């Protein structure tokens, strides 16, 4: 069994009365020549890595190789503990996890690209925080990863998840769409709701440029992961409430790709424009990278 876009995936879900995660699992076991058990085993490993990367920097912060980040996840957590949080406890936790993963990534630690290294904080940030806040089972968490994987696969196949090709909207934007769709399924929403959440998430970050200071996966990447988390929370909340996006996901994916292709070269991971192109960004480039 296979699906090439959201439309055929949703048809599959309707006909067989299965969630998005079920369809993705069926695709993986039928085409990827692996068993349900081996998929579960690999997902469990991914969850373990995600969990470590979400927690370690909160206990033991480290400075990144490029020196632009380090300690942010712990700051967010400590402020919330001392003063309460503006975003509420679930979102604050999710943001701190997402930022922690980027910190691990920037210090040459072990992460799971989801879908890329630069956007690796969004999916674990959202999914792990929801699991804790709603006391969800590991099985539900793994269904979330399958759902996120299905959405990411469609974007990888029909659009792009590369910052160099289509900007940050293709990395953090894609990760945010994946996390939003997964959150909906984990909290009991329908496959259609998952794709409304994913469409809203892509739409909200449409046009976001990739402008890493000094070409490093540090700033603004880390705080972009925080915004990817917050966007996923918002869009999942909207979709679960019955809010829809007028443009179907497959058309949003194409729109994202087209917008990405029209972004100038300077705003696609070349470290020449945006944050990287400011006088301060340039100065950091010469000081840190050479």
Partner 1 sequence: MNFISLFDVIGPNMIGPSSSHTAGAVAIALLARKMFQEEVRKVTFTLYESFAKTYRGHGTDRALLGGTLGFSPDDRRIPDAFQIADELGVAYSFVADEETKTNHPNTVDILLENGEGHTLSVRGESIGGGKIKIVRINGIDVEFTGEYSTLIVKHTDKPGVIAYVTQCLSECAVNIAFMRVFREEKGAVAYAVVESDEEITDHVLEKIGKNQWIEEHMLIQM
Contact residues for partner 1, defined by CB under 8 A: 24, 27-28, 31-32, 39, 42-43, 45-46, 49, 64-66, 104-118, 120, 123, 145-146, 148-149, 152-153, 156-157, 161-162, 164, 178, 214-218, 288-289
Task: Provide the terminal-to-terminal Cα distance of the chain, rounded to the nearest Å.
Answer: 50
d(CA 36, CA 45): 14
Q: Which residue lies nearer to partner 1 by CB, 114 or 226?
A: 114
Burial 168-188 (b: 16+ CB within 10 A, else e): bbbbbbbbbbbbbbbbbbbbe
- Among 149, 161, 129, smallest CA distance to 194 is for 149
Q: Which residue lies nearer to partner 1 by CB, 58 or 221?
A: 221
- What residues have CB less than 8 Å from 148, skipping those under 6 apart? 114, 123, 127, 178, 179, 181, 182
d(CA 176, CA 83): 28
Shortest separation between residue 80's beta carbon and partner 1, angstroms? 25
3-class DSSP assignment, residue 210: strand
Shortest separation between residue 111's beta carbon and partner 1, angstroms? 5
Cβ atoms of 234 and 205 within 8 Å: the answer is no
Shortest separation between residue 255's beta carbon and partner 1, angstroms? 20
Shortest separation between residue 79's beta carbon and partner 1, angstroms? 25
Q: What crossing angle do the helices spanning 172-186 and 221-240 adopt, rounded to 10°?
A: 40
d(CA 157, CA 66): 32
d(CA 216, CA 57): 19
Shortest separation between residue 165's beta carbon and partner 1, angstroms? 8
Q: Which residue lies nearer to partner 1 by CB, 112 or 128?
A: 112
Shortest separation between residue 66's beta carbon and partner 1, angstroms? 5
Find tokens 């696609």 and name the residue: 268
Q: Which residue lies nearer to partner 1 by CB, 55 or 288?
A: 288
d(CA 139, CA 73): 27
Q: Which residue lies nearer to partner 1 by CB, 87 or 113?
A: 113
Q: Which residue lies nearer to partner 1 by CB, 14 or 157?
A: 157
Report how far apart, in Å, the C-alpha atoms of 21 and of each of 12, 30, 233, 269 are: 11, 14, 19, 32
Q: Which residue lies nearer to partner 1 by CB, 216 or 238?
A: 216
Shortest separation between residue 159's beta carbon and partner 1, angstroms? 12
Shortest separation between residue 178's beta carbon and partner 1, angstroms? 8
Q: Which residue lies nearer to partner 1 by CB, 283 or 289?
A: 289
């Amino acid at each position: 069994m296979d699906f090439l876009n959201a439309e055929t995936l949703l048809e599959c879900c309707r006909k067989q009365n299965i969630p998005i995660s079920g369809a993705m699992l069926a695709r993986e076991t039928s085409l990827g020549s692996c068993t349900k058990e081996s998929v579960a085993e690999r997902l469990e490993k991914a969850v373990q890595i995600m969990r470590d990367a979400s927690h370690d920097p909160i206990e033991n912060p480290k400075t990144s190789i490029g020196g632009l980040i380090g300690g942010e996840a712990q700051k967010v957590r400590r402020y919330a503990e001392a003063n309460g949080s503006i975003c509420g406890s679930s979102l604050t936790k999710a943001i701190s996890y997402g930022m922690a993963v980027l910190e691990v990534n920037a210090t040459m630690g072990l992460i799971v690209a989801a879908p890329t290294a630069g956007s690796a904080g969004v999916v674990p940030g959202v999914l792990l925080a929801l699991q804790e806040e709603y006391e969800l089972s590991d099985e539900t968490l793994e269904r979330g990863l399958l759902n996120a994987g299905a959405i990411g696969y469609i974007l990888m196949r029909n659009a792009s998840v590369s910052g160099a090709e289509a900007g940050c909207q293709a990395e953090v934007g894609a990760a945010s769409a994946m996390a939003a769709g997964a959150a909906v399924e984990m909290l009991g929403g329908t496959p259609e709701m998952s794709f409304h959440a994913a469409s809203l998430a892509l739409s909200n970050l449409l046009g976001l440029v990739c402008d890493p200071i000094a070409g490093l996966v540090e700033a603004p990447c880390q705080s972009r992961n925080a915004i990817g988390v917050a966007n996923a929370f918002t869009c999942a909340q909207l979709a679960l409430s019955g809010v829809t996006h007028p443009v179907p996901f497959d058309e949003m994916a194409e729109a994202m790709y087209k917008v990405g292709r029209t972004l100038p070269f300077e705003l696609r991971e070349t470290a020449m424009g945006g944050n990287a192109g400011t006088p301060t960004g340039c100065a950091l480039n010469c000081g840190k990278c050479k």
